[in-house]
Amino acid sequence: MKQRQKKRSDKKWYMLAYDVREPKRLRKMHYFMKKHGVAMQKSVFILKIDKSGLYKLVSGVKELVNNQEDDVRIYPVISPSSIWTAGQQEKKLENLFVGTPKQGNSILPKFIAKFFCRKRI
């Protein structure tokens, strides 16, 4: 039981974004990523995996992409609640993970929050 809890705590959040030029590779990449994470946009996924899972993911991605034409980036994320979102993505993130705040984000500086919350004329 303790090993199971340890494995769970070893998992970390990541955001993977990709720009794949060729349509066939793009479809394969999207299908591959749907197995490992949750789509935030068509080419942006959020996932929670451990170190070995991350290595497997990276090796799988390397097999799918062309290093000369495509671009793939993986960013560590503290938690889904640390991602500032607006519009449709805000609802997706809000309903997806337990503990995600519904309104606002304490990590954002107040002036950024005020800028996006002010009324437009």
> Could you tell me the residue ranges of all domains in the chain?
2-77, 84-121
Q: What is the pLDDT of residue 105?
A: 47
Distance of alpha carbon 91 from alpha carbon 102, whole angstroms: 9
Residue 83: per-residue pLDDT: 73
Per residue in 20-64, pLDDT (tens digit) is 999 999 999 999 999 998 888 889 999 999 999 999 999 999 999
What's the N-to-C CA distance of the chain in angstroms?
Answer: 57
pLDDT digits 0-9 by tens, 53-111: 999 999 999 999 999 999 999 999 887 777 777 776 666 665 555 444 444 444 444 54
- The single residue listed with the structure tokens 């097999």 is 63
Asked whether the predicted pLDDT for residue 19 surpasses 80, the reply is yes
Q: Give all strands of the β-sheet with 38-41 in edge-to-edge order.
A: 38-41, 44-49, 12-19, 71-77
Domain at 2-77: CATH code? 3.30.70.240
More confident residue, 65 or 116: 65
